[in-house]
Homo-oligomer: A and B are copies of this chain.
Amino acid sequence: MPTLRLALCQVDPTVGDLAGNADLVRAWSRQAADAGAQLALFPELMLTGYPVEDLVFRRSFVAASKAALERLAADLATDGLGELPVLVGYLDADGPPQVSADAEPGRGARNAAALLHRGGVAARYFKHHLPNYGVFDEDRYFVPGDTLNVVRIGGVDVALTICEDLWQAGGPFAVARQAGVGLVLNINGSPYELNKDDIRLPLVRRRAAEAGAAIAYVNMVGGQDELVYDGDSMIVSADGTLLARAPQFVEHLLLHDVALPAAREPAGGDGELSDGMRVVRAELDAIPPAPTGEPAVGGVIAPVADEAEVWQALVLGLRDYVNKNRFPSVVLGLSGGIDSAVSAVIAVDALGPDRVVGVSMPSQHSSEHSRADAEDLAKRTGLDYRVQPMQPMVDAFLASMSLSGVTVENLQARVRGVILMALSNQEGHLVLTTGNKSELAVGYSTLYGDSVGGYNPVKDVWKTLIWRLAKWRNADAERRGETPPIPESSIGKPPSAELSPGQLDSDTLPDYDVLDPILIGYVDGDLGRDGLIESGHDPAIVDRVLRMVDTAEYKRRQSAPGTKISHKAFGRDRRLPITNRWREHG
């Protein structure tokens, strides 16, 4: 039984950064080769980043992706890595890029994988199952492939597949069994969702059984606008044994020796295959020799608590958003409350205290403990703390206009927004807004006020989860012998916007432990009014909450992007990604 040393390269590409992503492949291929790897795998659409969205419609971008692939193959050979087979995702299209403006753009585009070897492309595979639900729009962008590419590598028949191919029964994995392969490579751009890692392993096992082959599953890692990829790359044997599994949320080289069956000719040939697919075979003439010495063991990472997983997702999502957009630093308002405290600590964990500015903007309604809690947080974290009183600006509006009631509350929130944006303009910080998912759902915020900002670290976090995260983060600090970063009184006190005397969230909203379960059922669960009432919620409260959610749609559309941790975050758009590094102009 041949053994192959596999290198699963769990890396963090950036959409549009063709040169930077190619450099990543070269650097990690070098590491893999130095460790004796005989086959290296990179994620789905590695060269372009994922999701490329409407960049697919730019002929010049498709052409640039194809050219970058050819150059990468040549560069790997120049680097002395030509013998190492390297599987890399890229964007392809049938035929030469169209030049007529009349031609329908994007026609024939492919979500593709190329096996690079000896300076060229030894095999290409086009994704067969295209997802078109949730965050995915691949029916809009891509044409499905109908061949399964099987490459004989070191005496083992290896099939190439991409992401969604794994999530649906039938298709490539059924064909892989018919083709008698020993190993299926599956390269992914699979975004994080809470508990998704609990689904992946059983799924990979099911497909291993379907294919009758081992599976090497590699996923990207890192934040890309609202999405965050968690990695969680793994190798599963044909009998379902988990051989190796990488940690989530960090770049990682998962290196593991896998014993695989020697290639044999399939009994019935390659005719009559599942799902209208056909098999195309190739063979690599030479790969790096089997390494001597100790076998490589990738290890199996232990699972972490849900709070730890979410925290890492939020930290990585923010860090990559800030760095991929090349912001030097962030600024946020510190109210002394829990949302801004948790957001500030996420920012400090992501960027370090020197790149985080926290501003207390007290008004006549700010309590003494609010200012004290904000200052306490600043001391605990070491962030750059400022105080900018705002009453003079508010008074200037009140002196010139006849305003009353909620208008005056909103005015204060908007003056704070103007202050933060002025600091952003003047000093270059990205403004963070900190409204949690519960507030976004019911519209409990001021448009162009506290909702001002370019990124929201807690956009997809329900309020009750904010508290859990805060407690977990403090306990985790204590466990490591560090100062808990979040003041206890920020966690314990009743939430308040402090925009009018003695105001509490509970004046306007049900308690969050009543509100959140209704919101989770309505938003995440698509339950209707009747379904919510059947679940035991008070009909009057259900009506009140649903009315708020249905009328807050406009505010949600104006909200900042933020890391998505659920299957139903508010407001991801299909357009150009923001952190798009592709610039064809000078």
Contact = CB atoms under 8 A, between A and B. Distances in A.
Contacts of A379: none
Nearest to A409: B425
A583 interface: yes
21 contacts: A60-B528, A60-B530, A101-B525, A132-B132, A139-B139, A389-B400, A395-B396, A396-B396, A403-B426, A406-B425, A407-B425, A410-B421, A414-B417, A454-B554, A528-B584, A529-B584, A543-B586, A547-B585, A550-B583, A571-B573, A573-B573
Given A418-B411, A421-B414, A448-B452, A554 B526 contact: no
A422 B448 contact: no
A415 interface: yes
Contact of A400 (B393, B452, B529, B586): B393
A59 B526 contact: yes
Interface string A551-585: 00110011011000000001101111010100111
Interface residues of A, number: 75
A388 interface: yes
- Per assembly, the copies of the chain total 2
A437 to B, nearest CB: 15
Interface of A: 57-61, 99, 101, 105, 132-133, 137, 139-140, 388-389, 392-393, 395-397, 399-404, 406-407, 410-411, 414-415, 417-419, 421-423, 425-426, 447-448, 452, 454, 525-531, 539, 542-543, 546-547, 550, 553-554, 557-558, 560-561, 570-571, 573-576, 578, 580, 583-586
Contacts of A542: 585
A578 B558 contact: no
Nearest to A576: B553
B421 A585 contact: no
Contacts of A448: 417-418, 421, 448, 452
Given A421-B448, A542-B585, A550-B580, 13 more contacts: A137-B137, A393-B396, A401-B426, A403-B422, A411-B418, A414-B418, A414-B421, A454-B554, A528-B584, A529-B585, A547-B585, A554-B578, A557-B573
A62 to B, nearest CB: 10
A103 to B, nearest CB: 10
B526 A105 contact: yes
